[in-house]
Structure 1
Amino acid sequence: MDNQPENKSIQLDTDYENHAINMKFSNNLTDDRERGYILSAAFFSYCASQGLDKQEVIEMVNSNYDQFTGARDTSLFKRL
């Protein structure tokens, strides 16, 4: 009996015309907390692989977070 969890996926696509990043989740990835965990883990993993330290990530979030809750400006991703 196989007790391994099912693989899940998230596909990200840029939409420069609408200044958006589109996300497509696999059909078995419906829990918003799990989606958030996977996206957060991917973000922090990427930051670490780019050599950013914890303070740089904190400053990046502090200076850019409001853009994503308002006008959906993707300048954060253009900078990385």
Structure 2
Amino acid sequence: MELPEDKAIEITTDYENQSINLRFSDNLTDDRERGYILSAAFFSFCASQGLSKDEIGDMVSSYYDEFSDNEN
């Protein structure tokens, strides 16, 4: 079985513009795959920090609107 090609996402901050920037490797073009990798990384980080499902749910409920409002 041949393994898929490795892919990368680079996350940087830009405090002057109050933004978080994402750079995807050239072979990472599928938005569903990008979302899967980002969400898996988020949940993995939360679990490693010992956050409960309730704490993660509260975090999403509290901050999702803040991020979605910035994209309009």
Q: TM-score range by the shorter chain?
A: over 0.9
Unmatched 5+ stretches in structure 2: none
| Equivalent residues in 2 for 1:68-79, closer than 5 Å | 68-71=67-70
Percent pairwise identity: 63
User: Could you list the per-position Cα deviations for residues 11-37 of structure 1 after superposition, in whole angstroms to 9, with x for gaps in the alignment?
Assistant: 000000111110000000000000000
TM-score by length of 2: 0.94
Give the corresponding residue for 2:20: 21
Matched length: 71
By relative contact order (CA 8 Å, sep 6+), the higher-ranking structure is 1
Question: Following the alignment from structure 1 to structure 2, what is the Cα–Cα distance between the partners of residues 33 and 4?
Answer: 19
What stretches of structure 1 move > 4 A for 4+ residues in a row?
none
After superposition, the CA RMSD in angstroms is 1.1
Give the corresponding residue for 2:10: 11
Query: Aligned with 1:70: secondary structure?
Result: helix
Query: Aligned with 1:34: secondary structure?
Result: helix
TM-score by length of 1: 0.85
